[in-house]
Amino acid sequence: MGSLSAFLFVLAPQLRKGPMNLAQRQYTDMLVKYLRPQRLRLVALALLLLLNPQLVRRFIDTATQGGSVAALLSIAALFIAVALAGQVLAVCATYVGEWVGWTATNVLRADLAEHCLELDMTFHNERTPGELIERIDGDVNTLSNFFSRFVVLVLGSSLLLVGVLVLLFMEDWRVGLALTLFTMLSLFVLRRVRDVAVPHLTAERQASAELYGFLEERLAGMGDLRASGAGAYVMRRFHHYMRNLFMKGRRAGMMSTVVWVATNTLFTFGYGLAFALGIIFYRRGMMTIGTVYLIWDYTYLLRRPIEELTNQLQDLQKATASIGRVRELYNIQSSLKDGPGEPLPAGAPSVEFREVSFGYGHDELVLRDLSFRLEPGEVLGLLGRTGSGKSTVARLLFRLYDPAEGEVRLGGVDIRRARLADLRGRVGMVTQQVQLFQGTVRDNLTLFDPEIPDQRILNVLQEVGLSQWLRSLPEGLDTKLSPGGAGLSAGEAQLVAFARVFLREPSLVILDEASSRLDPATEQLIERAVDRLLDGRTGIIIAHRLATVERADYILVLEGGRVLEHGRREQLAADPDSHYSSLLRSAGMRGTDAVLADDGLEVLA
């Protein structure tokens, strides 16, 4: 792999910039691994390129020395054959190069996507999906273009460069030395200007990510934007992001031309040097006219590998910017460290919060010294106004976040000691907002797990009351659902979410506003599904509605992240001084159901 030397001469500073897991392991080992099978093709291609000038010299010298027409025709035919063979090899090398580029970067895309999935919710809350798409696909696509061209052009050009200089030394050591010094000067200059555009290209990639993030958010909220008449505002912001991308891209493009200008300036000097040496040696009778042509042609041939290296340097600038952004993403580590693997007990677990305090980022604490215990198989009704910390309790149990202080224990085990996969396999959660994916009904129920048999899916749909709905679908479980579940009512989507949890068979079930504001018929189905789901399991029901928690064994009322009231539901309901009892009386006096709102009791007709 000696032909890597010219490229590594330029790339070395990037590889020396501290520990870089991606750039060293994924950037060099991967290239060497995939390039090794192509070395014979590249050697053959370079040899054919070097052979043609020798044939032209032989043709010129034969013609000037009165050679026969047959000899000239033979040289011409050989020249054409070599040229055709070179083109065939070039096509083959390009095909292999493209295959290498896409194969290598598809692996990189998968690694990045998996890495992002493992990062905690704090990371995802600070970045839009559009920005991450641009990181995973846009930046890696830049590397794909670079890798595929690198295979054919950089290695082949490096080999050609070395071959030209060797042949020039064989013709005349003085010519070889002069043009070797010229080549070294060219590479030195190119290396010096290599990183000129990198900061500007990095800024361009970031501007692109911001644009895609903006588009993703606005397209997702299209209904609300139209309803509020915010179209003009969206377009004004869109033009702002587009203008920013244009300005950053124009600046990056202008700085990228520095390498091209340097190359043309250098080769103006190089051609002059070749002509001067040829004239001097020809006038002294030390060279034939064919050899003078050979020196000029080889000097011209030197331009090809150096220009290709220059072009690749421009791609390398883009790749370096993308590598930096990909490396930055790889260097982000989740604040949630996987536990050592302490086993969780079988069966319905107990749930315990011990003096838990938590806040999102640098914001004010959402939970303050929260402590309660729920015995195995019991159901807790969690009440509180908006912002009181109810949903935060669920997120901590699912270990989407870790508490700032205190412990969350499941079955007597600190959940930080358990494996994340084991914990999340034991906890099931249904929320008011159901995420449905583009795919079949089967895919949405099993979350793309092919190992769940259809009969089990059918049994679960029967349990949650979706059998009739399934029979109404044209292709049953194979019916395609649109992105976001278009075509499904809110109740049907909610029942699909219940079916998902049934299929997982968790031992702790969390229902976070799972039956909020549904029509009476659908709510009756939901209530039946809840009864089935909580049977034999520990449960936490998070609700605004008082009627929703009538099946709970215990009631916990939160206020400002603290426990306002906690006790058995029957005892609290019977205690006229309890907060829960006062809420029930208020609702009963009006003959309605009620929810807890920010300003007190809100009536539902």
CA distance 547 to 534: 16
pLDDT range class, residue 55, cuts 50, 70, 90: low
Residues across the chain: 605
pLDDT score recorded for residue 415: 93
Which of 194-208, 274-288, 300-314, 532-546 is least confident? 300-314
Per DSSP, the three-state class of 53 is: helix
Domains located in the chain, CATH noted: 22-331 (1.20.1560.10), 351-604 (3.40.50.300)
Q: Mean pLDDT, the chain, as a whole number?
A: 75
| DSSP secondary structure letters along 172-218 | -HHHHHHHHHHHHHHHHHHHHHTTSSHHHHHHHHHHHHHHHHHHHHH
Average pLDDT over residues 386-393: 86
536 residue type, one letter? G
In the predicted model, is pLDDT for residue 540 greater than 90? yes
**End-to-end CA, the chain:** 79
Residue 135: predicted pLDDT: 77
Element (H, E) at 9: helix 5-15
Highest mean pLDDT among 15-29, 236-250, 501-515: 236-250
- Comparing CA positions, the residue from 32, 6, 14 lying closest to residue 154 is 6
pLDDT tens digits along 265-317: 777 777 777 778 777 877 877 777 777 767 777 777 777 777 676 666 666 66
DSSP E strands in 293-411: the ranges are 351-358, 367-374, 379-384, 405-410
| Per-residue pLDDT at 604 | 35
Q: What angle in degrees, to the nearest 10, is found between the helix axes of 5-15 and 289-331?
A: 30
Q: What is the pLDDT of residue 36?
A: 54
